[in-house]
Chain A
Amino acid sequence: MSQEWNEWELSKENVQPLRKGRVMSTLQEALAQQETSSHTAIQQQKQEFESEIRFYSGDDPLDVWNRYIKWTEQTFPQGGKESNLSALLERAVKTLNEQQRYYQDPRYLSLWLKFGNYCSEPLDLYNYLHSQEIGTSLALFYVTWAEALEARGSYKKADLIFQEGLLRKAEPLDKLQSHHRQFQARVSRQTLQSLEEDDDELEESNLGASEPQRSSLAELKGKGKKKVKAPISRVGDALKRKFTSQRVSNCPGFAVFDENSVVTAGAELPVLTPQPWAAPPATRAKENELKALDMISLLPFYPRSSTDSGAILQSVLPGFTPYVEESAQQQIMTPCKIEPSINHVLSARKPGKEEDPLQRVQNNQQDAQEKKEQPMYCKEKVYAGVEEFSLEEIRAEIYRKKAKKRREEELQAIAQKKTEIQRKFEEMEKVVKEKQDVQCQQSYGQVISKVNHLHTESSFVYISLLIELLLESAVKQFQKSVNLIYLLVMEGALIFVIYRGTDQKWQVNLKICLNLFAGELKWHVCVKLIFLSLSFPAGHTQTGARRPLAIRKPSDSLTAKENLPPESCDELNGIEPLTEDPIVTGSYKNKTLCPNPEDTCDFVRAAHLASTPFHGIVEQRAQLPTDPEEALKEEFSESKSTSLSQQTPISEGTYNEALCIKKLSPIMEASQEDTSSSGSSASSVSSLTQISTMKYLQISEKLELAQSPPDEIAIATEDNAEQRKELLYPLPELLTTCPDFCLETSSVPLIELGKEIDLGNETYCIKQECWISDDYKIFFAVQVNFAQVDSKGFAIKVFSQPVPWDFYITLQLQDRLNTEFDQNFSENCSCILYRDGCVVLHREINHFTLWDIIQHCKTIPQEVIVLVVHNLLDVVLKLHKAEIILGDLRPEVLFLGDRICDSFANADLTSALKIVDFSHSLDMKLQPRVTSLNSFPVAQTQYGQQMLAECSLPYQVDLIGIADIVHLMLFREHLQVYQEGSQWKIKQCLSNPTDGDLWSQFFEKILNADGKSTVPLLMELREKLNGMFDSSFPERLCDCLTSLEELFKLEDIF
Chain B
Amino acid sequence: MAKQLSREQGITLRGSAEIVAEFFSYGINSILYQRGIYPSETFTRVQKYGLTLLVTTDPELKNYLNNVVEQLKDWLYKCLVQRLVVVISSIESSEVLERWQFDIECDRSAKDDGAPRERSQKAIQDEIRSVIRQITASVTFLPLLETTCAFDLLIYTDKDLAVPEKWEESGPQFIANSEEVRLRSFTTTIHKVSSMVAYRIPFLD
Contacts and interface: CB of A to CB of B under 8 A. Distances in A.
Contact of B140 (A8, A20, A70, A182): A8
A178 B39 CA distance: 16
Q: Which of B39, B141, B146, B148 has the most CB of A within 10 A?
A: B141
Nearest to B194: A1
B43 to A, nearest CB: 14
A95 B202 CA distance: 26
B185 A21 contact: no
B184 A1 contact: yes
Given A178-B147, A178-B148, A17 B139 contact: yes
Contact of B142 (A1, A9, A21, A193): A21
Contact of B181 (A15, A24, A175, A178): A24
B202 A22 contact: yes
B202 A18 contact: yes
Q: Which of A9, A18, A20, A189 has the most CB of B within 10 A?
A: A20
Interface string A52-74: 00000000000000000010001
A785 B86 CA distance: 81
A279 to B, nearest CB: 36
Contacts of A182: 148
Contacts of A1: 184-185
Given A19-B143, A19-B146, A5 B137 contact: no
B140 A15 contact: yes
Interface residues of A, number: 25
A27 interface: yes
B122 to A, nearest CB: 18
B124 to A, nearest CB: 14
Interface string B152-190: 000000000000000000000000000111101100000
B181 A5 contact: yes
B141 A27 contact: yes
A23 interface: yes
Nearest to B127: A1
Given A23-B201, A24-B179, A74-B202, A17 B147 contact: no
Given A6-B184, A23-B203, A24-B179, A193 B148 contact: no
A21 B92 contact: no
B60 interface: no
B144 A19 contact: yes
Contacts of A6: 134, 184
A286 interface: no
Nearest to A19: B144
B199 interface: yes
Q: Which of B41, B134, B137, B142 has the most CB of A within 10 A?
A: B137
Contact of B137 (A9, A24, A178, A189): A9
Contacts of B205: 20
A12 interface: yes
A74 B179 CA distance: 14
Given A9-B134, A9-B137, A23-B202, A17 B144 contact: yes
A825 to B, nearest CB: 73
Interface string A2-44: 0001101100100101111111100100000000000000000
B117 interface: no
B111 interface: no
A20 B201 CA distance: 8
Contacts of B83: none
Contacts of B144: 17-21
A178 B202 contact: no
Contacts of B142: 17, 21
Contacts of A27: 140-141
Q: Which of A6, A19, A178 has the most CB of B within 10 A?
A: A6
B108 interface: no
A21 B141 contact: yes
Given A1-B185, A193-B41, A20 B202 contact: yes
Contacts of B133: 9
Nearest to B204: A20
A22 B203 contact: no
Interface residues of B, number: 27
A552 B61 CA distance: 105
Contacts of A19: 143-144, 146
Contact of A22 (B137, B141, B146, B185): B141
Interface string A181-203: 01000000100010000000000
A23 B143 CA distance: 10
A9 B184 CA distance: 10
Q: Which of A18, A20, A21, A27 has the most CB of B within 10 A?
A: A21
A18 B92 CA distance: 22
A175 B181 CA distance: 29
Nearest to A6: B184
Interface string A169-182: 00000110010001
Contacts of A23: 179, 201-203
Nearest to A5: B182
Interface in B91-147: 92, 133-134, 137, 139-144, 146-147
A910 to B, nearest CB: 70
B46 to A, nearest CB: 21
Interface in B13-38: none
Nearest to A20: B202
A501 B92 CA distance: 66
Given A9-B137, A193-B41, A21 B148 contact: no
B41 A22 contact: no
Contacts of B137: 8-9, 12
A70 B204 CA distance: 12
Contacts of A77: 140
A22 B143 CA distance: 7
Q: Which of A12, A19, A27, A189 has the most CB of B within 10 A?
A: A12
A6 B185 CA distance: 11
A754 to B, nearest CB: 54
A17 B36 CA distance: 15
Contact of A24 (B141, B200, B203): B141
A1 B85 CA distance: 20
A630 B202 CA distance: 89
Contacts of A174: 92
A472 B109 CA distance: 87
Given A5-B181, A23-B179, A193-B41, A12 B202 contact: no
A74 B202 CA distance: 10
Contacts of B184: 1, 6
Contacts of B199: 21
Nearest to B180: A24
Interface in A911-945: none
A189 B92 CA distance: 21
Contact of B143 (A5, A21, A74): A21
Nearest to A106: B205
B140 A17 contact: yes
A237 to B, nearest CB: 13
A21 B205 CA distance: 12
Contacts of A9: 133-134, 137
B70 to A, nearest CB: 30
Nearest to B182: A5
A783 B182 CA distance: 71
A193 B184 CA distance: 38
Contacts of A70: 203
23 contacts: A1-B185, A5-B181, A6-B184, A8-B137, A8-B140, A9-B134, A15-B140, A17-B141, A18-B144, A19-B144, A20-B143, A20-B203, A21-B179, A21-B199, A21-B200, A22-B141, A24-B179, A27-B141, A175-B147, A178-B92, A178-B147, A189-B41, A193-B41
Given A5-B182, A21-B199, A24-B141, 20 more contacts: A1-B184, A6-B184, A8-B140, A17-B141, A17-B144, A18-B143, A19-B146, A20-B144, A20-B202, A21-B144, A21-B179, A21-B202, A22-B141, A22-B202, A23-B179, A74-B202, A77-B140, A174-B92, A189-B41, A193-B41
In the complex, the 9 A-B pairs of residues with the closest C-beta atoms, listed nearest first: A21-B143, A22-B141, A15-B140, A12-B137, A20-B202, A21-B202, A19-B144, A12-B140, A24-B181
